Amino acid sequence: MVCTVRGLVKTYPAARGRRGAPATPAVRASDGIDLDVVRGEVFGLLGPNGAGKSTLVRQLTGLLRPDEGRVRVLGHDLVRHPERAARLLGYLGQDSTALDELTVSLAAETTARLRGLETRAARAERDAVIEELGLGEVAGRPLKKLSGGQRRLACVAAALVGERPLLVLDEPTSGMDPVARRAVWAAVDRRRAERGVTVVLVTHNVIEAETVLDRVAVLDRGRVIACDTPAGLKALVADEVRLELVWRTEPPLDVPEVAALWKAAEAARAAADASGRRWTLRLPPDDARAAIATVTGGPAFAALDDFTLATPSLEDVYIALGGRAEGAEGLVKA
Amino acid sequence: MSVMPAVSGVSGATGVPGVSGASAGLPGASGVSGTSGASGDAGEAGDVPAPLAARARLFPALVAVYRAQLSRARVARIPLLFVATFQSIGIMILMRGVVDGGSEARSVVAGSSVLVVAFVALNLLAQYFGQLRASGGLDHYATLPVPPSAVVLGAAAAYASFTVPGTAVTAVMGSVLFQLPMTNLWILLAVIPLSGAALAGLGAALGLLAPRQELATLCGQLGMSAALLLGVLPAARMPQVVSYARDLLPSTYGVEALARSFDGQPDWWVVCADLGVCAGVAVVSLAAATWAYRRAAVR
What's A267's domain CATH number?
Answer: 3.30.70.100
Contacts of A38 in chain B (CB under 8 A): 35-36, 38, 41, 43
What's A35's domain CATH number?
Answer: 3.40.50.300
The pLDDT of B227-235, averaged and rounded, is 83
B-facing residues of A in 72-131 (CB < 8 A) are 74-76, 82, 84-91, 93-99, 101-103, 106-107, 109-111, 113-116, 118-119
**Is there a single domain that holds both residue A247 and residue A194?**
no
Say yes or no to pLDDT of B31 above 80.
no
Query: How far lies B113's CA from each of A149, A321, B33, B167, in Å?
Result: 43, 67, 66, 5
A120: in domain: yes
**Cα–Cα nearest to B41, from A4, A319, A27, A152:** A4
**Is there a single domain that holds both residue A246 and residue A157?**
no
**Residue after which a domain boundary falls, among A231, A265, A283:** A231
Contacts of B144 in chain A (CB under 8 A): 86, 111, 114-115
The pLDDT of B103-126, averaged and rounded, is 90
Touching check for B131 and chain A: CB below 8 Å? yes
Touching check for B237 and chain A: CB below 8 Å? no
pLDDT band (50, 70, 90) for residue A117? very high
Say yes or no to pLDDT of B21 above 90.
no
Domain of residue A271, residue span? 239-311
- Of B226 and B77, which is predicted with more confidence? B226
**Is there a single domain that holds both residue A200 and residue A289?**
no
> Using one digit for the tens of pLDDT, what is the confidence trace for A266-282?
654 445 555 567 787 87
A-facing residues of B in 26-55 (CB < 8 A) are 26-33, 35-39, 41-50, 52-55
The minimum CA-CA distance between A147 and chain B, rounded to whole Å, is 17
**Is there a single domain that holds both residue A44 and residue A131?**
yes
A331: in domain: no
The pLDDT of A62-87, averaged and rounded, is 92
In the predicted model, what is the mean pLDDT of chain A? Answer: 85
Share of chain A above pLDDT 70, in %: 91
**Is there a single domain that holds both residue A103 and residue A80?**
yes
**Is there a single domain that holds both residue A205 and residue A300?**
no
Touching check for A216 and chain B: CB below 8 Å? no
**3-state SS class at A29:** strand
Cβ separation of A74 and B49 shorter than 8 Å?
A: yes
Q: Give residue A328's pLDDT.
A: 43
**Residue after which a domain boundary falls, among A205, A231, A257:** A231
pLDDT band (50, 70, 90) for residue B231? confident
- Of A156 and A206, which is predicted with more confidence? A156
Give the range among A92-106, A114-128, A282-296, A308-322 with minimum mean pLDDT. Answer: A308-322
> Using one digit for the tens of pLDDT, what is the confidence trace for B118-143?
988 899 899 999 999 888 889 999 99
Cβ separation of A1 and B41 shorter than 8 Å?
A: yes
The pLDDT of B73-80, averaged and rounded, is 73
**Is there a single domain that holds both residue A269 and residue A145?**
no
Q: Quick one: closest CA in B to A164, which residue?
A: B53
Q: Give residue A299's pLDDT.
A: 79
Any idea what DSSP says for residue A13? P
The pLDDT of A313-317, averaged and rounded, is 78
**Residue after which a domain boundary falls, among A186, A207, A231:** A231
Contacts of B65 in chain A (CB under 8 A): 110, 114
The minimum CA-CA distance between B15 and chain A, rounded to whole Å, is 9
pLDDT band (50, 70, 90) for residue A287? confident
Sequence-separated (6 or more) residues with CB below 8 Å from residue A182: none
pLDDT band (50, 70, 90) for residue A264? low
pLDDT band (50, 70, 90) for residue B28? very low
Any idea what DSSP says for residue A14? P
The pLDDT of A28-40, averaged and rounded, is 92
In the predicted model, what is the mean pLDDT of chain B? Answer: 80
A267: in domain: yes
**Is there a single domain that holds both residue A221 and residue A72?**
yes
Touching check for A263 and chain B: CB below 8 Å? no
Domain boundaries, chain B: 58-297
A65: in domain: yes
